[in-house]
Amino acid sequence: MSRRGAFIVVEGLDRSGKTTQTNLLCEHLSKIGDRPVKLIKFPDRTTPIGQMIDNYLRSKSELDDHAIHLLFSANRWEMRSSLLQLLNEGITVICDRYAFSGVAFTFAKSLVASAPESTRKLTYEWCRTPDAGLPAPDLILFLDISAEVAKLRGGYGDERYEKAELQQRVREVYKRIQDDMQTSGVHWISINASHEMEVVKQEICSYVKDLSNGVNEPIKSLWL
Ligand code: NYM
């Protein structure tokens, strides 16, 4: 197993089916690949930083929008060395949300008319900067769904951000990130996630075959 493991990120709006699809993808890659597969998730709510994020998302605490953005990023940085270790050991890593969620959700907040003035001044570049230098994924699978269809899927939960207007903005920012990623050479695939679970699964599986037995190239750095 001299090839390093592939790093595959799954992104999407809330209620896009991400959790179901990441689990199915793990199962699939374990079956077809020659190596172990590990599923990780951000935010990782188990660390002290993750617990602060969890409290914020469940409205148990208040934080400035800049501060929570930096905590989400810090939560990824604290995982950096273990993530690299997994990949270098040859393990395939599937990651449920990554830095793209960070940019999409924070920058979307700045586009909401009722946001505080300091939040409306947040720039797209500022949102990207804290994550620059993290390990870059080999593939990003974006589960695309409209905010309206997501809402019809049993509605949003009680956490912050689970509101149709913000989700609509999040989707717009994801499109912008997608355009940027295409010019940076990172492989971003947008998948219509409003189809049936099995159809989405098949489409996802069709994109990961080449990564199931590891990758020869070195791990790149994100946004540098
Ligand atoms: N979220 C997630 C962010 O705002 N920034 C981030 O960097 C990440 C990783 O947290 N609404 C938001 C997106 C979700 C929320 O995610 C919790 P999940 O996948 O429901 O645990």
How far apart (Å, rounded) are the C-alpha atoms in residues 224 and 105? Answer: 21
Q: What pLDDT is attached to residue 218?
A: 97
112: Cβ–Cβ under 8 A, 6 or more apart, which residues?
165, 166, 169
- What are the strands, taking DSSP E only, across 154-219? 188-192
CB of 124 closer than 6 angstroms to any ligand 1 atom? no
> Is 125:40 a contact under the CB 8 Å cutoff?
no
Q: What pLDDT is attached to residue 40?
A: 98
Backbone angles phi, psi at 37, to 5 degrees: -125, 135
Using the mean position of ligand 1's atoms as its centre, give its distance from the Cα of residue 101 in Å.
6
Token pair in block for residue 156: 């949003």
Q: What is the ipTM of this complex?
A: 0.99
How many angstroms separate the first and last alpha carbons of the chain?
Answer: 29
Q: If we measure between CA atoms, which residue out of 19, 26, 16, 67 comes closest to residue 42?
A: 19
Q: What pLDDT is attached to residue 154?
A: 76
In order of their start, the domains of the chain are: 7-208 (3.40.50.300)
CB of 101 closer than 6 angstroms to any ligand 1 atom? yes
| pLDDT tens across the length of the chain (224 residues) | 689 999 999 999 999 999 999 999 999 999 999 999 999 999 999 999 999 999 999 999 999 999 999 999 999 999 999 999 999 999 999 999 999 999 999 999 999 999 999 999 999 999 999 999 999 999 999 999 998 898 888 777 889 998 888 999 999 999 999 999 888 778 999 999 999 999 999 999 999 999 999 999 999 999 99
Looking from the CA of residue 45, the nearest atom of ligand 1 is 21
CB of 57 closer than 6 angstroms to any ligand 1 atom? yes
Whether the bond between 116 and the residue before it is cis, its omega within 30 degrees of 0, is no
Give me the count of residues in the chain.
224
Q: What pLDDT is attached to residue 1?
A: 60
